[in-house]
Amino acid sequence: MKKDVVDDILGQWSDQKPELDTASLGVVIRIISLSRAFLRQATDALAPLDLELFEYDVLSALRRQGRPYALPATGLARETGLSSGAMTNRIDKLELRGLVVREADKSDRRAVIVSLTDAGQRAIDEAIQLRLHAADESLRGLNNRERNELAKLLRKTRLTGMDDAEEV
């Protein structure tokens, strides 16, 4: 198999400190590097729609709920792993763009329900196609069995090795 820059880094450590077992570091460095590349790829995939990744996250959370594509603002914050203050700022920006609307919750005057507009639904439906295509492209070197195995191993790592793994 072809070597990458991480192999070079680990080889240098092995030369300097042969007693070190660097296998775990090799996995972590590669995941960090891939994370950065995947974030760039996601940003680039959404650029034709003039959508930022944070906007995609909010619209996606609403769309995944099914009709009527709505959540209380607190539930939306929970779905996206954000504080209520950060969520308010994001909702403001999306509302200005006509992608979501806020409505008072009829059962709780203190709460706000955030819903996708028709434009928001069209945007997220197109965005998910772009994101899926970009993800497929970035994993083109793996067949379906390998993709499934990698997903299984990464899931296991998140569930057993990372008590403080960030939600997506």
Domain boundaries, the chain: 1-49, 50-137
Give 140-158 pLDDT, tens digit per residue.
Answer: 999 999 999 999 999 999 8
CATH of domain 50-137: 1.10.10.10
Token readout for 30 is 């590669």
Q: Residues in the chain with pLDDT < 70?
A: 161-168
Place of tokens 């806020």: 102
* DSSP state letter for 142: S
d(CA 29, CA 49): 32
